[in-house]
Amino acid sequence: MFSLETRILIVDDMSTVRRIVSKILKELGYNRLEMAENGQEAWDILNRSSFDLVISDWNMPVLTGIELLKLCRADSKYAKVPFILLTAEAEAVQVSDAVKSGVSNYVIKPFTGDILKVKLQQTYKKTVESL
């Protein structure tokens, strides 16, 4: 599992979702959390500082989660940083887009803390295996 020192950026235009994700992560022991309201704000934060994991909503105004993912994958600093998409869109075409763009994992809404925990474990395993 990711170390408790992992720096995590949570991106969602809905403050309620940011709070839910943050609460779940804090319950798991993660406290190095930052939040962004959309992909553009997240990208600015990512460029100002460093993160070990990004958890982002898909469907957001200004810059979507998939656009943020593509920016990350094209940037040497974040090309291999684990990136989890949160999405209410569970269609195969969307999943295909995400896989093609290099997503590490995705969480389909609605989700519970247990689901997010399992996805974090899976993502960590994949990340370690790909090193």
Partner 1 sequence: MRYTKEVLGQVLIFSVNSSVSPEIAKEISDDINKEILENKKIEKVAIDLKNQYTIDSSVFRILSPVGVSLRKQSKLFYILNPTAQLSAFIKEMGLASLMKPIDSLQEINAETKAAPPANATVFDVNFINPFIQGVITTMKIQCDLECTPLKSTLKKQLDPSIQVDIAGLIGITSKTFTGSVSICFPEKTFLSAMSTMMGEEFLEVTSELQEGAAEFINVIFGQAKKVLNEQGHTIEKALPSVIHGKNVDVKHTTAKFVILIPFASAAGPFYLEIGTGDKS
Separation of alpha carbons 2 and 107, rounded Å? 17
Asked if residue 47 binds partner 1 (CB under 8 A), the reply is no
**What number of chain residues touch partner 1 (CB under 8 A)?**
26
Nearer to partner 1, 17 or 71 (CB): 17
Token pair, residue 119, equals 């996805």
Tell me how crowded residue 117 is: count the other CB atoms within 10 A of its CB.
Answer: 15
Which range touches partner 1 (CB under 8 A), out of 11-19, 28-36, 40-48, 73-81?
A: 11-19
Q: Is residue 61 a contact residue for partner 1 (CB under 8 A)?
A: yes
- Any idea what the Cα angle at residue 5 is, between residues 130 and 8, rounded to 5°? 70
For partner 1, which residue of 17, 28, 35, 62 counts as binding (CB under 8 A)?
A: 17
Radius of gyration of the chain (CA): 13
Tell me the three state secondary structure of residue 93: helix
Q: Which of 68, 87, 123, 124 binds partner 1 (CB under 8 A)?
A: 87
Instruction: Determine, following the binding rule CB under 8 A, whether residue 100 of this chain makes contact with partner 1.
Output: yes
Helix (H, G, I), strand (E, B) or coil at 83: strand
> Is the sign of the CA dihedral 44, 45, 48, 54 positive or negative?
negative
**Which residue in 5, 16, 76, 131 binds partner 1 (CB under 8 A)?**
16
19 part of the interface to partner 1, by CB under 8 A: yes
131 binds partner 1 (CB under 8 A): no
* Residue 78 vs 106, nearer CB to partner 1: 106
